[in-house]
């Protein structure tokens, strides 16, 4: 089944407009989801809309409310919410360019692939892609879609371009609120050298195919096993725990780092590619 475009429209740079299509770069199909089941009957549990002291209510009597304080709400009709939604526009205007490294990773939200809509758009698309690549810049703009306006960043990605939705400033927490209590002490040079050596030995090119979701894999195996053993209610899986010497919380950091450096072999890039 062909992928469905998340957005179709034009990227505009000054007087130049480039027809493009945007597709989600991520997929959730690999994730395992569960349903709540009534065990005696084996049927799925459904949910009723209820009000404390009233009981089940009719769907037509439900409206949305914003909580100002506990049990104090501003009530909003669907028509009022619809009236303030941003009109979906078919133009994404590039309004600013920044260095790749200027955007803190905290702001990145979700990735999308950007491709030219047709052969006629390809030339201008390639020019913009290569200009961004040569300048080592990321383009910024705001994308209006589904009634909302999203801040987005666009940069070259192979033969295409990558659009990433960004969080707005008020959606990101300040790290200093959490880091303020950490000491300003500098580490000992020898400890720092040992840690740096260990990092160097474990350094290799990133390949997402080298990693797997072990929890999801264990769940799939458990589901397969339960599906085959229909009569058994419970099948407990053995979980391997990291070995420990039980010597308590006191750790000789110097000795631990030295032992880690001695035992760690240099990381090599894998030639065998696994499916992501």
pLDDT tens per residue across span 253-274: 888 878 888 887 776 655 544 4
Residue 48, in any domain of the structure: no
Of 134 and 234, which is predicted with more confidence? 134
Residue 259, in any domain of the structure: no
Residue 93, in any domain of the structure: yes
Residue 274, in any domain of the structure: no
Q: Number of structural domains, the chain?
A: 1
d(CA 167, CA 104): 10
* Residue range(s) defining the domain that contains residue 165: 7-28+85-171
Model pLDDT, residue 224: 84
Residue 121, in any domain of the structure: yes
Residue 13: CATH number of its domain: 2.40.290.10
Residue 239, in any domain of the structure: no
Model pLDDT, residue 1: 54
Torsion sign, CA atoms 125, 129, 130, 132:
positive
pTM of the model: 0.70
User: pLDDT, tens digit, for every residue of 146-185?
Assistant: 778 899 999 999 999 999 999 999 999 988 889 888 988 9
The CA-based diameter of the chain, rounded to the nearest angstrom, is: 70
Residue 107, in any domain of the structure: yes
Residue 271, in any domain of the structure: no
């Amino acid at each position: 089944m062909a992928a469905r475009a998340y957005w179709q429209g034009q990227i505009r740079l000054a007087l130049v407009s480039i027809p493009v299509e945007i597709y989600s770069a991520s997929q959730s199909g690999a994730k395992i989801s569960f349903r709540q089941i009534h065990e005696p009957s084996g049927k799925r549990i459904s949910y009723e809309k209820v009000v404390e002291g009233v009981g089940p209510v009719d769907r037509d009597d439900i409206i949305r409310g914003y909580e100002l304080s506990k049990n104090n709400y501003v009530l909003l009709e669907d028509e009022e919410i619809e009236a303030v939604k941003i009109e979906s526009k078919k133009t994404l205007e590039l309004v600013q360019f920044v260095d790749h490294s200027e955007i803190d990773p905290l702001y990145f939200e979700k990735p999308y692939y950007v491709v030219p809509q047709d052969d006629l758009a390809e030339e201008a698309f390639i020019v913009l892609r290569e200009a961004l690549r040569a300048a080592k810049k990321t383009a910024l703009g705001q994308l209006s879609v589904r009634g909302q306006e999203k801040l987005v960043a666009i940069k070259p990605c192979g033969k295409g371009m990558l659009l990433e939705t960004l969080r707005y400033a008020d959606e990101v927490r300040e790290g200093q609120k959490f880091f303020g209590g950490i000491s300003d002490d500098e580490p000992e040079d020898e400890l720092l050298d040992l840690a740096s050596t260990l990092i160097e030995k474990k350094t290799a090119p990133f390949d997402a195919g080298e990693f797997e979701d072990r929890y999801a894999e264990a769940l799939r195996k458990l589901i397969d096993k339960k599906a085959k053993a229909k009569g058994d209610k419970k099948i407990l899986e053995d979980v391997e725990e990291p070995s420990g010497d039980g010597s308590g919380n006191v750790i000789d950091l110097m000795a631990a780092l030295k032992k880690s450096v001695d035992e760690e072999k240099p990381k090599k890039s894998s030639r065998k590619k696994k499916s992501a």
